[in-house]
Structure 1
Amino acid sequence: MIVIHVLVVDDSAFMRKLISDFINEQSDMKAAGTARNGEDALNKLAAGHYDVVTLDIEMPVMGGLTALRKIMIKERPLPVVMVSSLTVQGATQTLEAMDIGAVDVVAKPSGSISLNLHEVKEELIYKIRAAAGVNMEAHLNRGRRKAEMVVRIPTKPAAVTGSAVIGIGTSTGGPKALQYILPRLQADLRAPIFIVQHMPPGFTRSLADRLNRESSITVKEAAHDETAEKGTVYIAPGGKQLSVEKREHSLVMKVTEAPPVNGHRPSVDVLFSSLARLHDYDMTGIILTGMGRDGARGLKEMKQQGNCVAVAESEKTAIVYGMPKAAFEETDIDYSLELGELPSFLNSQHSLSLHH
């Protein structure tokens, strides 16, 4: 069995012990070292072999963001999972960390020393496993390669007619993928976009705000009972389930405390299953990078409904190919597209400019 060697970095001895204990309970991973700050972490990384780093942000001597920058310019950059306090500042710093190259985030439930860290134990272990499978070269080069629009396996014409909706599901590596796609979408997109990005509560609003600043299309966190508008992107709030229903001639979002599905809240399957019930809409369902199978069943339901174009991110650019692969196994995928192809694909399908 391959064992994942983890370096645990936190300035609290209590937190280092707790995280190490969680890791060492797993048969496929080992807390192979700990460090009390960024400088200590870099010394440990230079001296030993590790597969994944869990990294606190606020630390003395050298903070997490500085250490992360240095880890990412190493000859062999390692996948890093940020373990961050759940504050507005923490969320902003975490998104900065993901820009630098961190692959995922786990929120400490009650501040820098969280006695109740066990509440996020399963999430932490899951994300360490996902991080161990990350294609770091693809991750650090996301969007840098210019890709021409190539249709891989067309089974349907590209243009849609009538009212349209777009659903996107993603997990590990998703924030960087969305940061590539959404700023490249045209403002006259004639469909609302609903997105599930696996993220803890508190982080999705910061993600939406950041994407909104960078995009010509409006990006916001979804709100309960809000009416969806064309040319607007709605991101499911972390810790809530997002579904969409038709009311008269409008689409209205439901944001609820419904239980996790596939271990996730928000869950891509919950969103996609609700979209599958919209019988008089043309739909595009897209599965991007992520570990696990969330979204595969929901995309199958959308396809079975009959007027859905199903898209999965290509293995060439998905930093974790689990979710796109599961979608391929579950249903007929119309297009396998690299990240660089997705903006032009969506613009060509859903922009008003084609229908003037």
Structure 2
Amino acid sequence: MIPKKKLLIVDDSAFMRKLIGDFFKESTLIEVVGIARNGADAIRKIKSLRPDVVTMDVEMPEMNGLEALKQIMSETPVAVIMLSSNTQRGTESTLLAMEYGAVDFVAKPSGTISLDLHKIKDELVEKVEHAATIPITKIKTRALLPSNKQEEREIQPIKYSWNKNKKKMVLIGTSTGGPRALQEVLPNLPKDMKAPVLIVQHMPAGFTKSLADRLNQLSEIEVKEAQQGDIIRDGHAYIAPGGFHMRVQKTGSVYTIKLDDIEPPRGGHRPSVDVLLEDNSMYNDFDKITVIMTGMGSDGSNGLKQLKKMGNVVAIAESASTCIVYGMPKAAVETKLVNDVVDLDKIANTIIQYLP
């Protein structure tokens, strides 16, 4: 028998603590070892109980989840899953939590006290079980430093013709750990880059706008949440909004964004990386630079197969050593279609080397 991983539940509502605890009663992997009523209580309990994973409410009295998270990450780092409300303040706090080192988050379906929390039971259990297995070294907040070009490893010679002067499009897919990964890649892309960037980050509706706004503040390129009909321009990044697949369509010589909430979620995800890549495979006016970064599951690998079959594509996967979760990049590498496997801090420079 493998010993169960230990979970601490942090929430100021006794009702919510009970509900979350009940979710794990049948788990063969997780055992609830304690509860905490606020951030200060959580810090004490983490020191005494040494849990493997913590679920933490963002908004709590006395010491909120963000303040507690900062202190936990500096004193006793542990995998933390935030529970957040889908308000503007909630979404902004959640993104800050990702920067401070939280592994992932789950959006409560209906505010602080969610009587219908059962709707997110499966998602929460899956994320907690995954988080409990992540090594502590990957959880500690890394300083986000620009990569050093001198340390750049040589890209292997490309096995087919890569015409640097042909139009390019960059396609990025990521999930768990993605907000921090994107924060290391997008700010290192130059303002005058000769390609647009289309991004799928698995997130529920409401959170992608805050993510885009945050990344826009940090980057030289323009970053926005994609809207129906946006003209796709070089030096601009478009993040698929939660709840919509992101496609492209051609009108004359112009490409625009097409959002789709009709096709069901693919593999549980809408937006889906596979949908973005498959859709792009239909257009050959431009070459594609595809990047698959940290995330659970295998989203992106089927789309990569379709892209490679239909046109000129280079594929970059984030290395296992820097991924919070080496799921999506691993699945991409296993297709044998990836050209470069690089650490997170090298991804921006690797993209740049393929651009005109």
Q: Report the TM-score, using the length of structure 2 for normalisation.
A: 0.93
Letter of the 2:86 partner, please give it. Answer: L
Q: Quote the Cα distance in structure 2 between the aligned partners of 1:316 and 1:330.
A: 19
Which residue number in structure 2 is paired with residue 69 of structure 1?
Answer: 70
Deviation at 1:339, TM superposition (A): 1.1
Counterpart of 1:118 in 2: which secondary structure?
helix
The change in CA–CA distance for 1:2 and 1:158 in structure 2 (over 3 A counts) is farther
Partner of 1:179: 183
Matched with 2:55 is 54
| RMSD, matched Cα | 1.8
Percent of aligned pairs with the same amino acid: 47
Residues 154 and 137 (structure 1), Cα distance of their counterparts in 2 relative to 1, 3 Å cut: farther
Equivalent residue letter for 2:183 = Q
Report if aligned partners of 1:133, 1:320 keep a CA contact under 8 Å in 2.
no
Shift of the alpha carbon at 1:246? 2.6
Tell me which residue corresponds to 1:325: 330
Q: Indicate conservation of the 8 Å contact 1:237/1:266, yes or no.
A: yes
Change (3 A) 1:154 1:171: farther
Q: 1:177 to 1:136 in 2, by over 3 A?
A: farther
SS of 1:73's partner is helix
How far off is 1:26 after superposition? 2.5
* TM superposition shift of 1:153: 4.5
Shift of 1:225: 2.4
Show CA shifts across 1:164-183 (max 9, x none): 11100001111111111111
CA 327–247 in structure 1, closer or farther in 2 if over 3 Å, else same = same
What does residue 130 of structure 1 align with?
Answer: 130
Q: Matched residues in 1 for 2:3 and 2:254: separation?
A: 51
- Which residue is 1:312 aligned to? 317
Match of 1:279 in 2: 284
TM-score by length of 1: 0.93
**CA positional deviation for 1:135:** 4.0
Picking from 145, 155, 158, the partner of 1:155 is 158
Which residue pairs with 1:203 in the alignment? Answer: 207
The equivalent residue for 2:15 is 14
Is residue 2:231 matched to residue 1:193? Answer: no
Given the alignment, which residue of 169, 173, 181 partners 1:169?
A: 173
Aligned-partner Cα distance in 2 for 1:34–1:296? 39
Change over 3 Å in CA distance of 1:145–1:207 after alignment to 2:
closer
The farther-off stretch of 143-152 and 257-266 is 143-152
Q: What is the distance in 2 between the residues matched to 1:193 and 1:20?
A: 41
Cα distance change on mapping 1:112 and 1:163 into 2, 3 Å: same
| CA distance 1:248–1:25, shift in 2 (3 Å) | farther
Given that residues 299 and 331 in structure 1 are in contact (C-alpha distance below 8 angstroms), is that contact kept between their aligned partners in structure 2?
Answer: no
Q: 3-state SS of the aligned residue for 1:350? A: coil
Counterpart residue identity of residue 348, structure 1: Q
Separation of aligned partners in 2, 1:133 and 1:190: 40
Unaligned runs of 5+ in 1: 352-356
Q: 2:38 matched to which residue of 1?
A: 37
User: Secondary structure, in 3 states, of the residue corresponding to 2:24?
Assistant: helix
Deviations 1:177-216 (A, max 9, x none): 1111111110111111110111121111011001111111
Shift of 1:144: 4.1
The separation in 2 between residues aligned to 1:271 and 1:129, in whole angstroms, is 28
- 1:207 maps to a residue whose letter is L
- Deviation by residue 1:263-284 (Cα, 9 ceiling, x = unmatched): 1111111111111121232001
1:142–1:320: structure 2 CA closer, same or farther, 3 Å change rule?
A: farther
The answer to whether the Cα contact below 8 Å between 2:162 and 2:312 also exists between their aligned partners in 1 is: no
Larger deviation: 169-178 or 16-25?
Answer: 16-25
Query: 1:301 & 1:154 partners in 2: Cα distance?
Result: 22
Aligned length: 350
Which piece of structure 1 moves more, 195-204 or 341-350?
341-350
Distance 1:135 1:51 in 2: 10
Residue 303 of structure 1 aligns to a residue whose secondary structure is helix
Q: Does structure 2 retain, via aligned residues, the 8 Å contact 1:154–1:334?
A: no
Which 10-residue stretch deviates more, 23-32 or 301-310?
23-32
- Greater Cα offset, 19-28 or 62-71: 19-28
8 Å contact kept, 1:242–1:256:
yes
Q: Deviation at 1:241?
A: 1.4
Aligned to 1:217: 221
Q: Aligned to 2:265, what secondary structure does the other structure show?
A: coil
**Shift in CA distance, 151/322, structure 1 to aligned 2, threshold 3 Å:** farther
In the alignment, residue 9 of structure 1 is paired with which amino acid? V
